[in-house]
Amino acid sequence: MSDIKKVVLAYSGGLDTSVIVRWLQDTYNCEVVTFTADIGQGEEVEPARAKAEALGVKEIYIEDLREEFVRDYVFPMFRANTVYEGEYLLGTSIARPLISRRLIEIANETGADAISHGATGKGNDQVRFELGAYALKPGVKVIAPWREWDLNSREKLMAYCDERNIPVEKKKGKSPYSMDANLLHISYEGINLEDPWAEAEEDMWRWSVAPENAPDKPTYIELTYRKGDIVAIDGQEMKPHEVLEHLNKVAGANGIGRIDIVENRYVGMKSRGCYETPGGTIMLRAHRAIESITLDREVAHLKDSIMPRYAEVIYNGYWWSPEREALQALIDNTQEYVNGVVRLKLYKGNVEVVGRKSDDSLFDEKIATFEEDQGAYDQKDAEGFIKLNALRLRIAASKGRKL
């Protein structure tokens, strides 16, 4: 007899999670609560209600979390100019802490004994969901069906549905790739992408045109920053999720945001994936541009030095950890004067910074100029500066040391 009476499931309404609902009911003889989050995946989430009801679910949570997702997770991450392994903008990784938090909150609200998710035993998401859950509720029971059942293929899942009369849509033309989407990105894995040599098919991409098919005329946009976050586009104030929605559209139309990478998963294997992050690609370039005129040199270099560690923390699932909180406090402290406007030129897959201005700029034209500076900078000072910095090199060379 299972001691699990009620489970909160992260539920999309797709094949895997529909099977999981019935499997939990059959295996644990428990009540299932479903939680479906709208974080901008581009598909209607309300149909998940009818699907859950058809499976006998009584408590159904469907929530629009788009603004919270961008405001409290995406924006804080971009203040650090975060990139994993030089390319990945962490679109999937940054969505998991929010989902984990709501799973635990709903479990507390409903008196559930456990939470459950549809992440496989080979991927990073199982780690991210569960690290977050344990950090927020240490004694929570986590049920990960992919680590327990033997339904390890689409054919077996479909057979399970047929045996138990589980309604599953069989859409014609549905993408064969394993996909994950939210307001920040969409990812593609599986099928021919499992061969790192195989080029991704053009019709796989959903959010962007091919750069060669983008408009022949460039698009110019201006982003207004306040304390490191974008608050307006072309002078129009927007909420965080509206900013990202708008940038996704304009970037995608200009062929911006596609990457094809092989990354190192936390569980140990290498994985090839393709990602579309149109708006995020613009955000990264623009944020570095506004910081270039508003941040002190050593502060900027310190941020750059800790960024890879911060990226690993998020990628590996440690958003709800003391090290992420400590890093975030430092990062957020640096953003006090990151205010101003960045002008960008978007053209055939490229994001070019063509202007930046700020009332908090540290760029001093009187000092930086190549023309007469009226004594703002004494060039003779450079001689002593150079000699002092060369002192250790000169001493070593005088002792006959070789480089």
Catalytic residues: 16, 96, 125, 178
Pairing assessment for the beta strands 219-226 and 340-347 based on DSSP bridges: antiparallel
d(CA 400, CA 403): 10
303 burial via Cβ count (<10 Å: 0-12, 13-18, 19+): buried
Task: List Cβ neighbours of 397 (8 Å cut-off, separation of 6 or more).
Answer: none
How many CA atoms lie less than 13 Å away from 44 in the CB half-sphere? 6
d(CA 82, CA 344): 20
Q: Which two tokens stand for residue 60?
A: 């159904």
> Which letter does DSSP use for residue 109 in this model?
H
Write the CA distances from 134 to 19, 104, 137, integer angstroms.
25, 9, 5
Q: Which two tokens stand for residue 244?
A: 């990202």
Task: List Cβ neighbours of 372 (8 Å cut-off, separation of 6 or more).
Answer: none
C-beta of residue 258 within 8 angstroms of C-beta of residue 349: yes
d(CA 23, CA 147): 13
CA nearest to 2, candidates 21, 30, 37: 30
CA nearest to 94, candidates 158, 212, 183: 183
Q: Which two tokens stand for residue 383?
A: 């001689």
C-beta of residue 246 within 8 angstroms of C-beta of residue 215: no
Strands (E) in 257-315, as ranges, are: 258-264, 270-276
The residue to which tokens 């060039």 are assigned:
379
Ranges of H-type helices in 334-380: 365-368
d(CA 35, CA 60): 6
Using alpha carbons only, what angle is made at residue 59 by residues 54 and 61, rounded to the nearest 5 degrees? 100
